[in-house]
Amino acid sequence: MSQQVQLDEKKDIHVDKEVLLEVRNLKKYYPVHAGFFKRKVGDVKAVDDISLTLKKGETFGLVGESGCGKSTAGRTILRLTESTDGQVIFDGKDITNLSGSLLREKRQDFQMVFQDPYASLNPKMMVGHLVDEPIRNYTNKSHKQLKTEVEELLERVGLRAEDYFKYPHEFSGGQRQRIGIARALALNPKLIVADEPVSALDVSIQSQVLNLLKELQGEFDLTYLFIAHDLSVVKHMSDRIGVMYLGHMVEVGDKDAIYKEPLHPYTQALTSAIPEPDPLIKKERIILEGDVPSPQNPPTGCVFHTRCPVAMPKCKEIIPQLKEVRPNQQVACLLYDKE
Amino acid sequence: MDKILKVNDLSVSFDTYGGEVKAVRGVTFELDEKETLAIVGESGSGKSVTAQSIMRLIPTPPGKFASGSIEFNGESILDKSEKQMEGIRGKDISMIFQDPMTSLNPTMTVGKQIAEGLIKHQNMSKKEAHHRGIELLKLVGIPNPEARIKQYPHQFSGGMRQRAMIAIALACNPKILIADEPTTALDVTIQAQILDLMRDLQEQTGTAIVLITHDLGVVANAAHRVAVMYGGKVVETGKVDEIFYNPKHPYTWGLLGSMPKLEGSGDEELQAIPGSPPDLADPPKGCPFAARCPYAMKVCEEHMPEYTELSDTQKTACWLLDERAPKVEPPESAVVGGSKVNG
């Protein structure tokens, strides 16, 4: 343990009681092999140098288009995939290099809710066993105790205690997502990473699940990292929002700032493209030209310059860094560079 | 304006091992020339089956047209032979599918897939079809069409594949374009591009569009009229303004209420619709929404309500509009934009 403390001092981890999760310069590169000898020819930079901080009890929304690295970021933070570089500090402890039993111990505190409720539950397992699996994994509770706990959990997420003996195929998509949530809650975690938890559900069911997640947050004292591509859903759920593009974090801020006064040209285009469910609102939409470039061969300088309506010559050369432009709003764009 | 398409009391069912599934149960709507009709509903509400019936893409068996008629330009689609249908598909009526990744042929170049319809329906030579293909790709906004036309679908990105599919669908200047969730598989910024493209093309070519979607945001931006489907039935239909500002059916209220509002603070609870959609293998006797409706009365479970005409264009099937029913105001969450047009 003394080694851990030393490490903490060396890397200057401040022990801010308010902060639950701190991610510093996280990178995840996937190597690309090609040719006869399968030599490494490059990297897909799925997550390239992102940093974020989550305070206790808040919801941080991560948005971006498909392929921008938001899911990889979520999985790398939970160490479901190993990072290439960077640090993840959870509850005052660096978990980036934890291994074996130390990591296993910590895993109780961070759980995940997956996107596809049809694929993420083992079809051969009874709902009761799906939900008590994490508890069995960490404690030696008796069968009876487990059963009462699971039944309470099932009722809490809006299912019935009798559902204990059923199998996943007997449930609809929304109900399956509730099972997934019960499973994530079973160990009373501090952080839940929800990766597109409602995108596979119909609108009327989607709102049921969103409401449930909000209720549980207060009740179980949860902190959420909420990953989604649907901007109105993210706005509804989050306190602060980070916008990702091609592996980079381009803007971070309070949700109202992000939606009302976005600073980064990409955020501006993204928010203007949301179709508003109101026929009278005719928004001035910023239509971006072209498609997202390949992350294997990202543009030089600012990754957005190929589609940016206000790109300058220097954008091709300089990689912009996140800078606080307004209070609680950081943006990585050369437009806001004073020099 | 002339009615180009009339669907009257259409019922489609499928024979399965679990019994007969009644996917569409008595759907009636009309389509004017040059207009966009949006069909909105959840998965399993019958919206895609309705669209595929218009193209006669439902395999029979197991599918079965139990009753009703589809008239295109005064001719009955359901009475046509398969051969006659081949002359209509892609020429008079064409379709854009949801998933551009799987609905293009991966073994054919994009140019060949566009040319197919042109050669068959318009007797063009291969050379002419090639030139027209380049024009079409240009029309849908694909850069460098001369090179792109020789490429295969896997060399295109998702947004470009959807554009290519629109080019194929528009190749023969169809009178009706059926778009089944055309933007669902795409990102928001690309979605905005495709919706704008469809609107521009409609202005240029005058094609009538049937837009199938579950996204009310897309509906508000792209449609002239809306039909809301639930449990295989159209529960409410009207102009887009009527549906958004003066909805009368509790399901439409629920749909509008369950959308997270952008101008909201995020603290308000979403108006969720409790429960889940009905099982169409054993559809309810009365109103399909009765089991989830907060205002359901006894009569709702027993009898399907008739349509009440609220205006020349708006029709709603709900017992609440019966004069004997109690007066119910829509919940606050269903009020769009904070102001009602007729309210």
| 3-state SS, one letter per residue, for chain B | CCEEEEEEEEEEEEEECCEEEEEEEEEEEEEECCCEEEEECCCCCCHHHHHHHHCCCCCCCCEEEEEEEEEECCEECCCCCHHHHHHHECCCEEEECCCCCCCCCCCCCHHHHHHHHHHHHHCCCHHHHHHHHHHHHHHCCCCCHHHHCCCCHHHCCHHHHHHHHHHHHHCCCCCEEEEECCCCCCCHHHHHHHHHHHHHHHHHHCCEEEEEECCHHHHHHHCCEEEEEECCEEEEEEEHHHHHHCCCCHHHHHHHHHCCCCCCCCCCCCCCCCCCCCCCCCCCCCCCCHHHCCCCCHHHHHCCCCEEECCCCCEEECHHHCCCCCCCCCCHHHCCCCCCCCC
Chain B residues in contact with A237 (beta carbon < 8 A): 266
Q: 10 Å Cβ neighbour count for B242?
A: 23
Q: Is the CB of residue B337 less than 8 Å from the CB of residue B253?
A: no
Mean pLDDT of chain B: 85
Is a pLDDT exceeding 80 seen at residue B339?
Answer: no
Under the banding of pLDDT at 50, 70 and 90, the label for residue A16 is low
- Tell me the nearest-neighbour CA distance from A160 into chain B, angstroms: 13
Q: Do B188 and A270 touch (CB under 8 A)?
A: yes
Q: Which of A141-150, B267-276, B330-339 has the lowest mean pLDDT?
A: B330-339
Q: Do A207 and B274 touch (CB under 8 A)?
A: no
Position A14 scores a pLDDT of 52
Q: Do B190 and A291 touch (CB under 8 A)?
A: yes
- The Cα–Cα gap between A258 and A254 comes to 6
Evaluated on CA atoms B36, B41, B44, B45, the torsion sign reads negative
Is a pLDDT exceeding 50 seen at residue B41?
Answer: yes
Is a pLDDT exceeding 50 seen at residue A7?
Answer: no
- Using CA coordinates, name the residue in chain B closest to A208: B272
Q: Do B337 and A269 touch (CB under 8 A)?
A: no
- Identify which of A65, A207, A274 has the shortest CB distance to residue B262: A274
A61: part of which helix (H) or strand (E)?
Answer: strand A59-63
DSSP state of A169: G
Tell me the HSE value of A37 on the side-chain side, using a 13 A CA sphere: 3
Position B342 scores a pLDDT of 39
Under the banding of pLDDT at 50, 70 and 90, the label for residue A231 is confident
Chain A residues in contact with B240 (beta carbon < 8 A): 279
Torsion, CA B167, CA B172, CA B178, CA B183, rounded to 10: 10
Evaluated on CA atoms B217, B222, B225, B231, the torsion sign reads negative
- The Cα–Cα gap between B48 and A219 comes to 41
What ipTM does this complex have?
A: 0.75
Is a pLDDT exceeding 90 seen at residue B268?
Answer: no
- For residues A261 and A11, which has the higher predicted lDDT (pLDDT)? A261
- Tell me the nearest-neighbour CA distance from B266 into chain A, angstroms: 4
Q: Do A279 and B214 touch (CB under 8 A)?
A: no
Q: What is the arithmetic mean of pLDDT over B272-292?
A: 85
Look up the CATH superfamily of A2-238: P-loop containing nucleotide triphosphate hydrolases (3.40.50.300)
- Per-residue pLDDT tens for A33-55? 888 888 888 888 889 889 999 99
In the sheet with A248-254, reading across from the earlier edge strand, the strands are A110-113, A191-195, A223-227, A59-63, A240-245, A248-254, A329-331, A323-326
Q: Which amino acid is at A39?
A: R
Q: Do A274 and B188 touch (CB under 8 A)?
A: yes
Q: What is the arithmetic mean of pLDDT over A7-16?
A: 49
Is a pLDDT exceeding 80 seen at residue B265?
Answer: no
Evaluated on CA atoms A242, A245, A249, A251, the torsion sign reads negative
Is a pLDDT exceeding 80 seen at residue B267?
Answer: no
Evaluated on CA atoms B317, B319, B325, B330, the torsion sign reads negative
SS3 A269: helix
Q: Can you give the C-alpha Rg of chain B in angstroms?
A: 21
- Tell me the nearest-neighbour CA distance from A187 into chain B, angstroms: 27
Q: 10 Å Cβ neighbour count for B86?
A: 14
- The Cα–Cα gap between A306 and A289 comes to 9
- Encoded tokens for A250: 């381009």
Q: Percentage of chain A with pLDDT > 90?
A: 40
- Using CA coordinates, name the residue in chain B closest to A268: B189
Mutate one of B43, B188, B246, B263 to test the A interface: name it (highest A CB count within 10 A): B188
Q: Can you give the C-alpha Rg of chain A in angstroms?
A: 21
SS3 A335: helix
Position A93 scores a pLDDT of 86
- The Cα–Cα gap between A210 and A197 comes to 9
Q: What is the arithmetic mean of pLDDT over B199-218?
A: 88
Q: Which is nearest to B149 in space by CA: B136, B159, B157, B126?
A: B136
- Encoded tokens for A78: 């939970």
Q: Which is nearest to B201 in space by CA: B247, B152, B168, B234?
A: B168
Under the banding of pLDDT at 50, 70 and 90, the label for residue B323 is confident
Q: Which amino acid is at A138?
A: Y
Q: Which of A174-183, A198-207, A223-232, B245-254 has the lowest mean pLDDT?
A: A198-207
Q: Do A288 and B189 touch (CB under 8 A)?
A: yes
Position A60 scores a pLDDT of 94
SS3 A324: strand
Q: Do B192 and A285 touch (CB under 8 A)?
A: yes
Q: Do B273 and A207 touch (CB under 8 A)?
A: yes
Position B75 scores a pLDDT of 86
Evaluated on CA atoms A202, A208, A214, A216, the torsion sign reads negative
- Tell me the nearest-neighbour CA distance from A174 into chain B, angstroms: 8
Residues from A contacting B (CB-CB < 8 Å) are: 65-66, 172, 174-175, 202-208, 210-211, 214, 229, 231-233, 235-238, 255, 259, 269-270, 272-281, 285, 287-288, 290-292
- For residues A24 and B157, which has the higher predicted lDDT (pLDDT)? A24
- The Cα–Cα gap between A38 and A26 comes to 27
Residue reference for tokens 């009709």: B37
Q: What is the phi/psi pair of residue A255, to 5°? A: -60, -35
Chain B residues in contact with A277 (beta carbon < 8 A): 216-217, 219-220, 244, 256, 259, 336
- Encoded tokens for A24: 């510093």
Is a pLDDT exceeding 60 seen at residue B4?
Answer: yes
Is a pLDDT exceeding 80 seen at residue A312?
Answer: yes
- The Cα–Cα gap between A294 and B164 comes to 20
Q: Do A172 and B276 touch (CB under 8 A)?
A: yes
Chain A residues in contact with B220 (beta carbon < 8 A): 275-279, 281
Q: What is the arithmetic mean of pLDDT over B247-257?
A: 89
Q: Is the CB of residue B263 less than 8 Å from the CB of residue A283?
A: no
Position A8 scores a pLDDT of 46
Q: What is the arithmetic mean of pLDDT over A299-315?
A: 89
- Tell me the nearest-neighbour CA distance from A235 into chain B, angstroms: 7
- The Cα–Cα gap between A267 and A244 comes to 9
- Tell me the nearest-neighbour CA distance from A28 into chain B, angstroms: 23
- Per-residue pLDDT tens for B301-319? 888 888 888 888 899 999 9
- The Cα–Cα gap between B271 and B40 comes to 18
Q: 10 Å Cβ neighbour count for B158?
A: 18
- Using CA coordinates, name the residue in chain B closest to A278: B220
- Using CA coordinates, name the residue in chain B closest to A64: B187
- Encoded tokens for B271: 């108006």
Q: 10 Å Cβ neighbour count for B82?
A: 7
Is a pLDDT exceeding 90 seen at residue A182?
Answer: yes
- The Cα–Cα gap between B272 and A236 comes to 14
- The Cα–Cα gap between A155 and B238 comes to 40
- What are the residue ranges spanned by the domains of chain A? 2-238, 250-339
Position B112 scores a pLDDT of 92
Position A88 scores a pLDDT of 92
Position B328 scores a pLDDT of 82
Under the banding of pLDDT at 50, 70 and 90, the label for residue A1 is very low
Chain B residues in contact with A272 (beta carbon < 8 A): 192
- Per-residue pLDDT tens for B158-192? 778 888 888 888 888 888 999 988 887 777 777 88
- Identify which of A211, A233, A277 has the shortest CB distance to residue B336: A277
- Encoded tokens for B233: 């039935």
Position B343 scores a pLDDT of 34
Q: Is the CB of residue A264 less than 8 Å from the CB of residue A326?
A: no
- Tell me the nearest-neighbour CA distance from B260 into chain A, angstroms: 6
- Tell me the nearest-neighbour CA distance from B78 into chain A, angstroms: 31
Is a pLDDT exceeding 90 seen at residue B78?
Answer: no
Q: Is the CB of residue A226 less than 8 Å from the CB of residue A198?
A: no
Chain B residues in contact with A288 (beta carbon < 8 A): 189, 193
- Identify which of B189, B214, B276 has the shortest CB distance to residue A174: B276
- Using CA coordinates, name the residue in chain B closest to A272: B189
- For residues A76 and B332, which has the higher predicted lDDT (pLDDT)? A76
Q: Which amino acid is at B56?
A: R
Residue reference for tokens 């080694």: A3
- The Cα–Cα gap between B261 and A231 comes to 10
Position B33 scores a pLDDT of 86
Under the banding of pLDDT at 50, 70 and 90, the label for residue B341 is very low
Chain B residues in contact with A69 (beta carbon < 8 A): none
Q: Which is nearest to A186 in space by CA: A119, A106, A111?
A: A111
- The Cα–Cα gap between B95 and A174 comes to 30
Q: Do B262 and A238 touch (CB under 8 A)?
A: no
Chain B residues in contact with A66 (beta carbon < 8 A): 158, 187
Q: Which is nearest to B206 in space by CA: B186, B176, B171?
A: B176
Q: What is the arithmetic mean of pLDDT over B3-11?
A: 90
Q: Do B220 and A66 touch (CB under 8 A)?
A: no
